[in-house]
Structure 1
Amino acid sequence: MLQQPTGPLAAILAAAGHPARFEILQSLVVGPKPVADLQAELALSSPGQLYHHLKTLTSAGLVEQPERGVYRVPPHAIFPVLALAAAAIDVAERPGAPAKPHDLPG
């Protein structure tokens, strides 16, 4: 793992690391969804934003389009996506982790 080229790994982490894209992954990891359902669920301001995020996730190999207008996390990427989420939760819940927005004074 430590000998792998960092560029491709960083691209995957960057794609998953954006809040909207991480929400897309959370939604799609349970199964395929049409774009209209994703748009309604995520409440993004425009379909263009959703397609931009889906393109980034697709380029990183975290999402695929098995049919027109439908997206999913490919079977080979389900465990890695869940592992990324588990690792983020583990780090976020450690003492000294950054404060959550609702924990910050107001």
Structure 2
Amino acid sequence: MTRSPGRLLRHPVGPLAAVLAAAGHPARFEILQALVAGPKPIAELQAELALASPGQLYHHLKTLASAGLVEQPERGVYRVPPHAIFPVLALASAAADVAERSDGRPASP
């Protein structure tokens, strides 16, 4: 995946902001972390994340799906689509790099 800085800066901000907003919520980012390793049934995801209700989980999954970060390949099972795995990891890496540097700590390798 290669994109020049100029191309990124000219990209319409709406779709970019939608992806960042979807991934930027703590519960949704935890969902992405759980699903990036592979598909999970909804019951397993609910138990792993300990969200207060299944309704909350479905709400977050719907937001992630609308942004193209999550899909439902079969009934009751969710995953990060193959084309989105690297971008999700890149978002996590970029966020970690910025967060670590803003704390005054050096970025981890």
Same structural fold, with TM-score higher than 0.5 when normalized by the shorter chain: yes
5+ residue gaps, structure 1, are 99-106
* Map 1:29-44 → 2, pairs under 5 A: 29-44=36-51
2:22 pairs with 1:10: no
Matched residue, 2:99: 92
Please give the root-mean-square deviation of Cα atoms over the aligned residues, in Å: 1.0
Equivalent position of 1:75 in the other structure: 82
Question: Please, which of 34, 49, 53 is the counterpart of residue 56 of structure 2?
Answer: 49
| Uncovered stretches (5+) of structure 2, i.e. residues with no partner | 1-7, 105-109
Moved over 3 A (4+): none
Q: Distance in 1 between matches of 2:24 and 2:11?
A: 20
Identical aligned residues as a percent: 84
Question: Please, which of 53, 65, 70 is the counterpart of residue 63 of structure 1?
Answer: 70
1:101 aligned partner = none
Number of residue pairs matched by the alignment: 97
| Inter-partner Cα distance in structure 1 for 2:46 and 2:62 | 14
TM-score for both structures, normalised by structure 1: 0.89
